Copies of this chain bind each other. A is one copy, B any other.
Amino acid sequence: MDDRVRQIDVTTMQERVYQELRDALYQGRFLPGEVLTIRSLAAALGTSPMPVREAIQRLVTENALTQLPNRTIRVAALTQEKYDEWIRIRCEIEGYAAARAARYSTPQLCERLRAINAGFGKAIEAEDASGILEGNQHFHFAVYEAAQSEALLKIIGSLWLRFGPILAFAQHLPGSVEMFRRGIEVHDRVISAIERHAGKEARFALALDIRAAAVWFRRRHFEGPLDKAPAQEAPRTARARSRLSSVPRFADERRSGSED
């Protein structure tokens, strides 16, 4: 009716705080284990503590933040066991999303995915660390959106939230570029499977992508030297058995007479 004024933001303060904290976590602007205080965040955001505490509580229920018995709030820090646990869950759920994407796939979707993956490749060649992470996220969520399930997307979003602070480390680790470069091929596999409506293959390829990155990162992060510095030289090159045809598996998964 009247275009002399623009639409303004009508969302609640709390919602905006929540989104801002969420973005910050996604992008790794907070370190794992870092302590957050309501008042200091409120000051930084320019609001009163009120919206902040509600936003924080929401993030605690999503497991993105942890509340110690002291009631101190920290950014969730993953032990190796928890890490493995969440990775397996991610493979399952995000694999399912990929399978559904394959069901609903269209030529337009595949074209879009290829374009995103090409951009991902460009960022890798340019060694643009944050661009790499962004491109990877972009690709994955393009697949998940194609699953056409709002509920699923929301669940996956809260899964990713846990890995944001950790991924921020990854970009500073040596060899990450080579790691992501291999990711391009796996992404291509995912696209190919989606294109052929091959749900099972899409699921497998996507789980492979998650697993490969997870195993790579786990080796540097958890099994490396125990210094505090997160970006030390990782001595081992360990290129053995990094062909894409076999799925890397965690230790306790070496077949126990069952298949899953």
Contact = CB atoms under 8 A, between A and B. Distances in A.
Interface of A: 12, 14, 53-54, 57-58, 60-63, 71, 82, 85-86, 88-89, 92-93, 96, 99-100, 102-103, 149-152, 154-155, 197-200, 203, 256-260
B151 A197 contact: no
Question: Which 8 residue pairs across A and B have the least CB separation, nearest first?
Answer: A199-B260, A99-B260, A199-B258, A197-B258, A58-B61, A92-B96, A197-B257, A85-B151
Given A12-B71, A197-B258, A198-B258, 7 more contacts: A58-B60, A89-B152, A102-B258, A197-B257, A199-B260, A200-B259, A203-B260
Given A89-B155, A152-B89, A260 B57 contact: no
Question: How many protomers of this protein does the assembly include?
Answer: 2
A85 B258 contact: no
Contacts of A100: 260
B82 A151 contact: yes
A256 B197 contact: yes
Contact of A151 (B61, B63, B150, B203): B63
A68 to B, nearest CB: 13
Given A86-B151, A151-B85, A155-B89, A199 B57 contact: no
Nearest to A10: B69
